[in-house]
Amino acid sequence: MPYFDDVNVFYDLLVGTFDELMKDPEMVQKALDSNLTVKFVYRNPEGEFWIDNKGDEVMLYPGGPDEERELDATMIMDLDTAHAFWCGQLNLLGALSSGEIEAEGSMPRLLKMLPVMKPAYEVYVNLLKEKGMEDLIIEEEED
């Protein structure tokens, strides 16, 4: 059973996460310096989420933009995989090599953004707690 029945709940979590991250001017600058537009395509349930780091501000498009935009990368995955990533419990390189995540476009540039995204994990998990969605938190499995 998927973590989310409605992709809009996940969109709200991502928008809330980015709203919090964008309060930090250094984080905004690092995102803009990447000069990337990335499209995330989700399955089960279906959806897409765009992050556009071109221009003067970081733009988010839950469900996709209204007009055509030039993409640098597309990542395709189950929504549960995306959720595990934002909980900080997914090895992105492993998921790419296993095919759990399919990627098209400029992966080297996209992978450079990973260290910048690390603070997002804590923000995302805290947002789940604030919204009373603790049962959705994926925690590290103990050996």
| Domains of the chain: residue spans and CATH | 7-131 (3.30.1050.10)
pLDDT of residue 143: 46
- Amino acid 109: pLDDT: 82
For 14-105, list the strands marked E by DSSP. 37-43, 47-52, 59-62, 73-78, 102-105
pLDDT digits (tens, 9 = 90+) for 97-121: 999 999 999 888 888 777 778 899 9
Two structure tokens written together for 99:
């095919």
Q: Distance (Å, rounded) from C-alpha 35 to C-alpha 19? A: 19
Percentage of residues in the chain with pLDDT exceeding 90?
Answer: 81
The pLDDT of residue 141 is: 59
DSSP-based three-state secondary structure for 131: coil
Q: Is the dihedral of CA 120, 108, 61, 55 positive or negative?
A: positive
What confidence category does residue 142 fall into, taking pLDDT thresholds of 50, 70 and 90?
Answer: very low
* pTM for this entry: 0.92
CA distance 70 to 68: 7
Residues 27-49 have pLDDT tens digits of 999 999 999 999 999 999 999 99
Q: How confident is the model at residue 114, as a pLDDT?
A: 79
Question: Are 86 and 14 contacting, i.e. CB atoms less than 8 angstroms apart?
Answer: yes
- Three-class SS of residue 36? coil
CB 121 within 8 A of CB 88: yes
- Per-residue confidence (pLDDT) for residue 117, from 0 to 100: 83
Paired sense of beta strands 102-105 and 73-78, if any: antiparallel
